[in-house]
Amino acid sequence: SPTISSTDMQRYNEEKIESEKNYTELLTTLDHLRSLQSTNPTMLRDVLPRMNEDTALSGLLDKWHTASQTYVSLTNDYGMSSPEVTRAQSMIKELDSEIDASVTGVMASLESKVTALKARLDTLTNTLQTAINTDLAEGERGQPYWEAKRKWANMVELHKLLEAKIRNEEVDLGIPKTSMVTLVDQAQPGKDPDSPKKTLYISFGVIVGLLVGIGLAFFIEYLDTSVKTIDDVERALQAPVLGVIPQDIGYLIDEGSESQHAEAYRVLRTNLLFSRKDDKLNTIVVVSAGAGEGKSTTTLNLATVFAQAGQRVLIVDSDLRRPTMHKLLHVGNNLGLTNYLLKQNTIEEVIQRTNLPTLDLMASGKLPSSSMNILGSASMKEMISELKQRYDFVFFDSPPIMGVSDAAVLASEVDMVIQVIQYRRYPQPMNVRAKQLIEKVGGNLIGVVLNNINMSQDESYYYYSGYYHGYYYYSKNDEEQNAEAKAKAGEGDTDRTGIKQKY
């Protein structure tokens, strides 16, 4: 058995923890006081009463402070040689001796307490360790007993289980062996599973899926307020659609006059010409509500078909913040519109030739630091007037009218405005707002170009897709037949060839 009970073991352990705490705190205090004693004895005299609560030492210190104040006062009143000052000095020395003796006693008392606490802590530690060692030894000696007791308990449990099994077997043996089950009917395998009913569930799933899909499609279409049809444009903007441009159109100046994409722009050109109220109206700005709707591509390709028809055409890149025309036509942008408007160069110096003989370009030029209202200046109006005399048609590429004021300024200065709307890109209210801005500045909006239409997926544009494709196909056949006839006859119909080159 253990040398001490578990209760005593717990009590000894608590006393040991408390003794360790008190010993550590007192030892730390004593080390601090020893350090002061060796480095600053005067501070030790002041600190020691507060740390040890020694009333005798506190009283001596109070007397010493009083004597010191008296000494200072007497020195000021009578001088250093007076008898009163001498007596005060003697009293201070006596008090110093008594204080030093008291400090020595207090330090000795603290050291005695530390020694006593250390001894008590060692005693408790030894007692606990002895008890623990004894318990471990007793436990090792009793291990065989506890192992045997565990095995005995397992055997008793196994014996109980065997007895219960024997009683169950005896009950079974006592039951008569006559048949207790009568065959009423023989089970037959089913032809079809009762559940799940696959045909019903599949049919129901298909119907529900179709209804949900159709409903979701109608809901998405209802939420989509972008422009999808010509009727959307004419109903919302009250403006005619001048042209319908298919998706993935390239640059006609690179593809040539016989490009299969050119016919869409020829139709646009024809509608534009018929929309003019006067043949003198020949300056046109192409605008859109937002970025990425195809203004620059429309401007370039429309100007190209005009130039391919033999007319003198100029493109002015007036999108000063994001100019693109010089990149599309593979020319430089060192000189351009801004250089002329700032009186740095003449019109002849800023106009550049392109690969198409009748098509010229005035690039944007470098954007000046002070470009505020440069497009609304008197120089801009003078330039437009001069360009009207030099060219048959002048096309202005512009920034988005909803984000930059330059497009609205241009719309008020030129003869005609064409608004480009990209298929299924921006909501209708945004395009309506763009039209209102054009009308607000006095712009002459002649119509809308519906751009980037996926004609293969939208059946409402099937007619346009078939017409453009068929026209291009028959045009190619006519060209081949004319070439064969020319080779046989040695000459061609120059008038028809000229028309084909134009259209």
Tell whether 29 is covered by a domain: yes
d(CA 397, CA 297): 9
Mean pLDDT (the chain, rounded) = 79
Whole-angstrom distance between the N-terminal and C-terminal Cα of the chain? Answer: 119
What local confidence, expressed as pLDDT, does residue 409 receive? 92
Do residues 72 and 89 both lie within one domain? yes
Q: What is the CATH number of the domain that holds 419?
A: 3.40.50.300
Tell whether 354 is covered by a domain: yes
Q: 274-299 pLDDT, tens per residue?
A: 998 888 999 999 999 888 889 999 99
How distant, in Å, are the alpha carbons of 115, 187, 206 from that of 194? 94, 16, 21
Do residues 297 and 446 both lie within one domain? yes
What local confidence, expressed as pLDDT, does residue 502 receive? 30
Do residues 370 and 405 both lie within one domain? yes
Q: Reduce the DSSP state of residue 321 to 3 states and report it.
A: coil
Tell whether 280 is covered by a domain: yes
Strand partners, 397: 286, 317
Do residues 256 and 119 both lie within one domain? no
What local confidence, expressed as pLDDT, does residue 398 receive? 92
Do residues 406 and 460 both lie within one domain? yes
Q: Give percent of the chain with pLDDT exceeding 90.
A: 27
Do residues 76 and 213 both lie within one domain? no
Write down the number of H helices and E strands in the chain: 18, 8
Do residues 206 and 336 both lie within one domain? no
Per the structure, the complete domain to which residue 45 belongs is given by 6-143
Do residues 328 and 453 both lie within one domain? yes
What local confidence, expressed as pLDDT, does residue 129 receive? 80
Tell whether 418 is covered by a domain: yes
Residue 484 has pLDDT above 60, yes or no: no
Question: pTM for this one?
Answer: 0.51
d(CA 408, CA 395): 15
Do residues 389 and 278 both lie within one domain? yes
More confident residue, 226 or 136: 136
Do residues 131 and 203 both lie within one domain? no
Q: Give percent of the chain with pLDDT exceeding 70.
A: 78
Tell whether 152 is covered by a domain: no
The residue-averaged pLDDT of 476-487 equals 50
**Structural domain tally of the chain?**
3
Tell whether 165 is covered by a domain: no
Phi, psi of 224 (to 5 degrees): -80, 105
Q: 64-110 pLDDT, tens per residue?
A: 777 777 777 777 777 777 787 777 777 777 777 777 777 777 777 77
Q: 146-188 pLDDT, tens per residue?
A: 788 888 898 898 888 898 889 888 887 777 665 556 677 777 7
d(CA 282, CA 293): 23
Do residues 203 and 134 both lie within one domain? no
Q: Last residue of some domain: 207, 226, 245?
A: 226
Two structure tokens written together for 249: 């159109």
Handedness of CA 410, 416, 418, 419 (dihedral sign): positive
Tell whether 176 is covered by a domain: no
- Report whether 44 contacts 52 (CB < 8 A): no
- Report whether 384 contacts 412 (CB < 8 A): no
Q: CB neighbours of 279 closer than 8 A, spacing ≥ 6?
A: none
Tell whether 117 is covered by a domain: yes
d(CA 98, CA 280): 124
Q: Last residue of some domain: 104, 119, 143?
A: 143
- When pLDDT is cut at 50, 70 and 90, the band that residue 349 belongs to is very high
- When pLDDT is cut at 50, 70 and 90, the band that residue 410 belongs to is very high
- Report whether 91 contacts 66 (CB < 8 A): no
Buried b (16+ CB within 10 A) or exposed e, 60-82: bbebbeebeebbeebeeeeeeee
- Report whether 230 contacts 242 (CB < 8 A): no
What local confidence, expressed as pLDDT, does residue 54 receive? 58
Do residues 262 and 356 both lie within one domain? yes
Q: 426-446 pLDDT, tens per residue?
A: 888 888 899 899 999 999 999
- Identify the weakest region by mean pLDDT among 146-155, 224-233, 277-286, 483-492: 483-492
* Radius of gyration over every alpha carbon of the chain, rounded to an integer in angstroms: 55
